[in-house]
Amino acid sequence: MNEPSPPAPGGPFRFELLGEHLGVRRGRYHTPHGSFETPCFAPVGTRAAMKGLTPAQLQETGTELILANAYHLHLRPGHELIERRGGLHRFMAWDGPILTDSGGYQIFSLSHLTRIDDDGVSFESVIDGSTKRLTPERCLQVQRALGPDIAMVLDVCPPGDAGPEVVATAHRRTLAWAQRQRDLHESWGGASRGQAVFGIVQGGTDPELRAESADALVAMEFDGYAIGGLSVGETKTQMAVALEAAADRLPTDRPRYLMGVGTPEDFRVATARGCDLFDCVTPTRHGRNNQAFTREGILKLRNLKHAEDDRPLDAACRCYTCRNYSRAYLRHLAVAKEMLAGVLLSLHNIHYFQDVMREIRESVPVGDAAAG
């Protein structure tokens, strides 16, 4: 397929394909709160906060886009409260682009608390145990109140080891829900109202379902497209097959977002298959667990061998942590369980991930789309 879809109907959203080489796409996506370069990594601030880091620190890492989670913000403090505060950008003091995940992943990860039917999902609140109901329409209403630049449709994410019947049901529901949300988005004015909505390709590890899902979503004409339901227990080979089946069927003039996939190795594989956006909790979670990503591999800072090592984490890194602190000092903080350890290591890890993305982008000459 790989043909451009019709232009998005108005609004401030526009994807520029600046170059393409050996499958890697270099681009720029424009939103009401500025643009971001692609391939792009979006750090995850699930509850409208990047654990331990301020917006200014994030900007120093080169971060242009961040992710928050509509499901968790709906539960606390409530999307209505955030709307009354002026929306998510003002509430968390981030003036760049924001993307909100819908809660589809939480349906998967908190499956013991959920019950799914064709109309939506009922779930037990992780905060107070009360019963909540989330339909596709309600999910989009929540995200409209939050006010991110990019809202994700509510989807059904099956486990990586799910059987064919479970995957097929999730695939069917995801497409039905996507159409309902696309219709609601259009009734509100589409992207011209200042918010883009992305559809999500599902289908487990079945390449035929993945291709079918991609084709159906493209026919609905979303503002962008995500590939979800990967990195949920399947093998790397299965992920590659599922990704291959979907990516090339998505329009060239819209962003392609591989959800929840998150190591430098994964980025290099997925960008070579045409993916543009990524998110993952990996850099901050590893940082809080005293681990640092470097060009030497992952360093475990609690190890004794770092006790008298005066080198920075990564000699080629120009982040605040590497410019100012030694491995010895960072090990001291980790062993002493000082909260500063998690802050400095998270800061470095996000910066490292952004460096990887920058290197991938710069490997594609601007204007080289014909060489793809």
Q: Where in the sequence numbering do the catalytic residues fall?
A: 101, 279
At 2 the three-state DSSP class reads coil
Please say whether the beta carbons of 194 and 226 come within 8 A.
no
The C-alpha atoms of residue 173 and residue 155 are separated, in whole angstroms, by 8
Q: Return the structure tokens found at 295.
A: 């060009």
The CB-side HSE value for 161 (13 A sphere, CA atoms) comes to: 1
Q: What are the φ and ψ backbone dihedral angles of 356, each rounded to 5 degrees?
A: -60, -45
The C-alpha atoms of residue 239 and residue 116 are separated, in whole angstroms, by 25
Of the candidates 12, 13, 16, which has an alpha carbon nearest to the alpha carbon of residue 252? 16
Other CB atoms within 10 A of residue 290 CB: 20
Q: What is the DSSP string of 115-183?
A: EEETTEEEEE-TTT--EEEE-HHHHHHHHHHH--SEEEPP-----TT--HHHHHHHHHHHHHHHHHHHH
Residue 357 Cα distances to 8, 15, 23, 25, 349, angstroms? 27, 18, 15, 12, 12
Q: What share of the chain is helix, strand, coil (3-state, %, to 5)?
A: 40, 20, 35
CA angle 158, 259, 54 (to 5 degrees): 130
Q: Return the structure tokens found at 99.
A: 């993307």
Other CB atoms within 10 A of residue 370 CB: 8
Distant-in-sequence, close-in-space partners of 112: CB < 8 Å, separation ≥ 6 = none
